[in-house]
Chains A and B, each alone.
Chain A
């Protein structure tokens, strides 16, 4: 199984500041033929199901604000929220869909400082 490890486990950021969440996979999730990284990021607010934010490591899902961005390749990935809003308080998960089982990171809890 591919192990996904996120850091930090929790993060407190001031409103308007940048939040950065990291995700590392135990093996590369880059498909060399397509040059795509099989990584998605999800946001889960309290009491709600997860919501897809980013896929192919850097493609924003329709309707997701452009303050959310994803980057990285191979085994190291980052989700960045450029200017934190109060509504961004949530747990964020990375997931690899390169092969099965399609594993998630343990989650990063993002709070307001």
Chain B
């Protein structure tokens, strides 16, 4: 069974850094692209970008380029999303999600993590 288990809620102050995780199981981690999706409080879904665990090829949405960093650790089948300097406007739920076809991004996302809430407040 494919599972994406995300790390727990984080409460941070503006200017702090944070790294959230998404641990994959039940499939070959290195063969499927992972997407990160933001959902601000009471708002819709925003596609942040994608990373291919096989070679760490990364593509960011222009809206998030330079604001966040995607990474993976192939030894522990985990993808990461990190910020170096948080802002209050970064408060949101962040989902990791797996694409449905090995090696492809022009395909729907078919498995989602349960989300990680990041709260940034002074």
Task: Please give the residue numbers on chain A whose beta carbons come within 8 Å of chain B beta carbons, in ascending order.
Answer: 1, 38, 40, 42, 44, 48-52, 55-56, 61, 91, 93, 95, 97-107
Contact = CB atoms under 8 A, between A and B. Distances in A.
A52 B49 contact: no
Nearest to A61: B110
A8 to B, nearest CB: 14
B115 interface: yes
A14 B64 CA distance: 40
A42 to B, nearest CB: 8
B45 A104 contact: yes
A107 B46 CA distance: 11
Contacts of B100: 52, 55
A42 B115 CA distance: 16
B108 interface: yes
Contacts, number: 64
B107 A101 contact: no
B45 A102 contact: no
B119 to A, nearest CB: 16
B106 A50 contact: no
A73 B112 CA distance: 26
Contacts of B49: 100-101
Contacts of B50: 100
A90 B112 CA distance: 17
Interface string B28-47: 00000001010000001111
A95 B105 CA distance: 13
A40 B108 CA distance: 6
